[in-house]
Chain A
Amino acid sequence: QVQLVQSGADVRKPGASVKVSCKASGYIFTAYYLHWLRQAPGQGLEWMGWINPGSGSTLYAQNFQDGVTMTRDTSIGTVYMELSSLRSDDTAIYYCAREAPRQYFDSWGQGTLVTVSS
């Protein structure tokens, strides 16, 4: 079955960077785009962008174009999301999700809590 397993919770100081991983299994890794979304405490879902695991191409939401980098390692079926110049309002649960061919998210990771605090 499809599984997306994310790295564990992290605490960072303002100005630092964080890198979250998402390991995919149960399907052909390069066949589906993987997306990153986040959810601030008590807030809704915010789409951050996607990576094509096959080519490595990316598309970032306008709000994240200056601070996010998405990469992949095809040898281990894992994608990464790195967020730099962290601020307190980057405190959120970060999710990876698989995009089905008809533009919806059919599988989600369990989420990774990133806390930005001095």
Chain B
Amino acid sequence: QSALTQPPSVSGSRGQSVTISCTGTSSDIGSSNRVSWYQQSPGAAPRLIIYEVSNRPSGVPDRFSGSQSGNAASLTISGLQAEDEAAYYCSSYTSSSIYVFGTGTEVTVL
């Protein structure tokens, strides 16, 4: 199972929106709505920010949103804040009942 493909980095100014893509196959992203996103600040463990494509756990700001179309998913951060500077990983449960993660995207706030 190959890793999901994400852009290595994206950047935006405070207040702007950025979108991170996550491309997979019909065996992972395209097989279900079990796509999740994780935020990882330097030196910290990953933190769940989106589950089942577009749901936010309690405590996650509503500027984080997710979507899916076919074999690809995306995470949008609207109204970028300084504290959003981190690495972001997508993940998908697959048709083989295993998990695969994305290659990771570093978000820089200019």
Contact = CB atoms under 8 A, between A and B. Distances in A.
Nearest to A44: B104
Given A44-B103, A47-B101, A59-B97, A102 B34 contact: yes
Which DSSP category, helix, strand, loop or mixed, fits chain A's interface? Answer: strand
B45 A109 contact: yes
Interface centre among A104, A109, A110, A111 (most CB of B within 10 A): A104
A46 B57 CA distance: 23
A97 B48 CA distance: 11
Interface string B42-76: 00011110011000010000000000000000000
Contacts, number: 59
A103 B1 contact: no
A72 interface: no
Interface string A64-86: 00000000000000000000000
Contacts of B93: 103-104
Chain A's interface size range is 20 to 34
Chain B's interface size range is 20 to 34
A108 to B, nearest CB: 4
B51 A108 contact: no
19 contacts: A37-B101, A44-B103, A44-B104, A45-B38, A45-B89, A45-B104, A47-B100, A95-B46, A102-B52, A103-B34, A103-B99, A104-B34, A104-B51, A105-B46, A106-B48, A106-B51, A108-B45, A108-B46, A108-B47
Interface of B: 1, 3, 32, 34, 36, 38, 45-48, 51-52, 57, 89, 91, 93, 97-104
The 8 A-B residue pairs with the shortest CB-CB distance, nearest first, are A104-B36, A103-B93, A104-B51, A44-B104, A103-B34, A108-B45, A47-B99, A45-B101
